[in-house]
């Protein structure tokens, strides 16, 4: 274990309520994670919820990032849209700025930006869209860290611009032999067993390896693990993961935490 591997970030999507509708147990998750990706009103969230969620994240000493999305409340940002890099650039700036307003008014700086849902997937494989997002992040504040799928076009785009990045991995998603995620359309794509997910998290965070679907150990560098906030057992799994990571000697901290 090299020095880098002494710590890992745990991030979670938060502030995904909208108007009168609630989603997720934000307070419980804020007690577990080190980075919060807060919805900016395009797939979820509204000004009131953004303000409250930023305040709650600060109360839990969790780093705040903008969870930018395609504009699709009904589809929760999960439906891909054919948008141009120029449109992506502008909508990313808009959303970062909107969340920044609540962060700044509350006395903190935004720490990171992470695309959501369909935009996350599009930016993982389409370099032009990835460049548009990275460019918007850099134009807003070059100190912002860009979160993206480990090994993706988005991470490459961020590095090319000189941004700090955080390569993201998943405790409960199965990896293939080339280090990519098994598509969700395949039945075994999600690790439903909490102990298996915990073991995978430790492997990634401590050892930098993951056991792929074909049984091989694959090298996988990750700076942050994504915890899911929805689902019946989300909070329980999140707590188990954090405890297990701490037991093996890892410190849970946002990438830019002291």
Binding site for its own copies (CB under 8 A): 17-23, 41, 44, 46-48, 50-51, 71-76, 79-83, 86-87, 89-91, 93-102, 104-105, 118, 136, 139-141
From the CB of 165, what's the least distance to its own copies, in Å? 20
- Our CB check for its own copies shows the closer of 19 and 177 to be 19
From the CB of 135, what's the least distance to its own copies, in Å? 9
From the CB of 224, what's the least distance to its own copies, in Å? 24
- Our CB check for its own copies shows the closer of 104 and 177 to be 104
Contact 111, 140 (CB under 8 A): no
- Our CB check for its own copies shows the closer of 7 and 114 to be 114
Rounded Cα gap, residues 201 and 213, in angstroms? 15
Q: How many CA atoms lie within 13 A of 59 on its CB side?
A: 12
239: which 2 tokens? Answer: 């707590």
105: which 2 tokens? Answer: 């008014």
Rounded Cα gap, residues 190 and 4, in angstroms? 28
What are the φ/ψ torsions at residue 218 (nearest 5 degrees)? Answer: -115, 140
- Our CB check for its own copies shows the closer of 12 and 245 to be 12
- Our CB check for its own copies shows the closer of 20 and 187 to be 20
DSSP type of residue 72: -
From the CB of 60, what's the least distance to its own copies, in Å? 20
Rounded Cα gap, residues 84 and 195, in angstroms? 42
From the CB of 105, what's the least distance to its own copies, in Å? 4
190: which 2 tokens? Answer: 């999600």
118: which 2 tokens? Answer: 């369909």
- Our CB check for its own copies shows the closer of 78 and 221 to be 78
- Our CB check for its own copies shows the closer of 83 and 154 to be 83
Collapsed DSSP state (helix, strand, coil) of residue 9: strand
Rounded Cα gap, residues 10 and 222, in angstroms? 11
From the CB of 254, what's the least distance to its own copies, in Å? 22
From the CB of 73, what's the least distance to its own copies, in Å? 6
What are the φ/ψ torsions at residue 89 (nearest 5 degrees)? Answer: -60, -45
Contacts of 183 (CB under 8 A, 6+ apart): 189
């Amino acid at each position: 274990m090299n020095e880098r591997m002494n710590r890992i970030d745990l991030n979670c999507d938060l502030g995904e309520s909208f108007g009168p509708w609630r989603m997720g147990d934000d307070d419980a998750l804020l007690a577990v994670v080190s980075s919060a990706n807060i919805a900016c009103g395009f797939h979820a969230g509204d000004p009131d919820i953004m303000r409250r969620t930023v305040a709650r994240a600060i109360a839990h000493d969790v780093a705040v990032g903008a969870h930018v999305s395609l504009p699709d409340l009904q589809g929760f940002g999960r439906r891909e849209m054919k948008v141009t890099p120029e449109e992506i650039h502008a909508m990313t700036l808009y959303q970062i700025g909107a969340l920044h307003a609540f962060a700044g008014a509350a006395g903190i700086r935004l720490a990171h930006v992470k695309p959501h849902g369909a935009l996350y997937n599009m930016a993982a494989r389409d370099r032009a869209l990835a460049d548009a997002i990275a460019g918007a992040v850099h134009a807003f504040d070059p100190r912002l860290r860009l979160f993206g799928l480990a090994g993706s076009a988005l991470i490459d785009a961020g590095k090319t611009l000189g941004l700090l990045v955080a390569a993201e991995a998943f405790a409960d998603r199965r990896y293939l032999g080339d280090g990519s995620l098994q598509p969700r359309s395949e039945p075994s794509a999600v690790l439903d067993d909490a102990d298996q997910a915990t073991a995978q998290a430790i492997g990634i965070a401590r050892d930098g390896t993951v056991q792929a679907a074909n049984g091989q150990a694959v090298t996988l560098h990750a700076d942050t693990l994504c915890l899911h906030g929805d689902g019946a057992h989300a909070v329980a799994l999140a707590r188990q993961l954090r405890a297990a990571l701490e037991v093996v000697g890892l410190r849970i901290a946002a990438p830019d935490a002291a």
